[in-house]
Amino acid sequence: MSSLPSSATEFAPGLHIRGIAPGLRLQDFKLIAFDMDSTLINIECIDEIADAVGKKAEVAAITEATMRGEIADFKESLRRRVALLQGVPTSALQEVYDQRLQLNPGAEALVKACQAAGLKVLLVSGGFTFFANRVKQRLGIDFARSNLLEEKDGVLTGQVVQQSWGDICDGAEKRRTLLEVASLMGISPRQAIAVGDGANDLPMMGEAGLSVAFHAKPRVRAEAMVAIDSGGLDRLLEVVAA
């Protein structure tokens, strides 16, 4: 496992911090932004959809390289992976949600604690609206942005749909979304917490006042102010008191 910069300290086993003032509280923030796949939930949805057509290994390899930052162009990476989903029946999405998708440990507890402290909750994902909307409803999340898979005659076309804000929610769009929501709320981005695990989360994490890496790729773990390496998302509450 990659080590954090020398300025980081082990706050507790499996929990590292750097650059954080003592006594920080959730009430010091107004917004928390979460990545979805492998952060709020336990899977990379695109990999599991690909399993329906026997292409999980191929798609997962691209996903892993992208999340590690080895493929810099997230948009091109996503287009490549989505193209491999052409012909997948849309019923496969519901099967993935019902049979494979679970909230990660501590996700519900952390979201509830944030809501109780008055924070708004944002889900911003390079994954797909089918899942993001369901997770949003399940957790009572306030805002969500994600990618929309095109479908026709009950099957996926292998394309993503253009939306009002653009076609693909990549790292730059995640950053822009966090800034947009903060602006709409009338707050500074420094009053936001950003939580993620992959390289495409770094742009929004860089804008937030508190960046949190959850079981993250080495590069993300190295740059975050809080790194949760073991246990659930609610371990953030050990660092930032509710």
Q: In whole angstroms, what separates CA 237 from the centre of its chain?
A: 18
* Residue tagged active-site, from 28, 35, 98, 142: 35
State how far the Cα of 154 lies from the Cα of 89, in Å rounded to an integer. Answer: 6
* Count of other CB atoms within 10 angstroms of residue 99: 9
- Grouping H, G, I as helix, E, B as strand and the rest as coil, residue 211 is strand
Residue 6 pLDDT: 46
Residue 124 burial (CB count, 10 A): 26
170 among known catalytic residues: no
4 confidence band (pLDDT: 50, 70, 90):
very low
Asked if 119 contacts 139 with a C-beta cutoff of 8 angstroms, the reply is no
What mean pLDDT comes out for the span 209-231? 96
CA dist 117 and 32 (Å) reads 11
Residue 187, pLDDT score: 98
Query: Could you read off the pLDDT of 117-166 as tens digits, one per residue?
Result: 999 999 999 999 999 999 999 999 999 999 999 999 999 999 999 999 99
Place of tokens 């292998």: 158
**Active site residue: 37, 47, 201, 234, which one?**
37
Which CA distances in Å does 79 have to 24, 115, 150?
A: 40, 35, 12
Q: CA-CA distance, 230 to 206, in Å (whole number)?
A: 23
Which domains, from first to last, does the chain contain?
A: 11-42+103-238 (3.40.50.1000)
More reliable by pLDDT, 237 or 7: 237
pTM reported for the whole predicted model:
0.94
Residue 223: CB atoms within 10 A of its CB come to: 19
Q: What is the pLDDT of residues 47-62, one digit of tens each?
A: 999 998 899 999 999 9
| pLDDT tens, residue by residue, 160-203 | 999 999 999 999 999 999 999 999 999 999 999 999 999 999 99
Q: Is residue 234 annotated as a catalytic residue, yes or no?
A: no
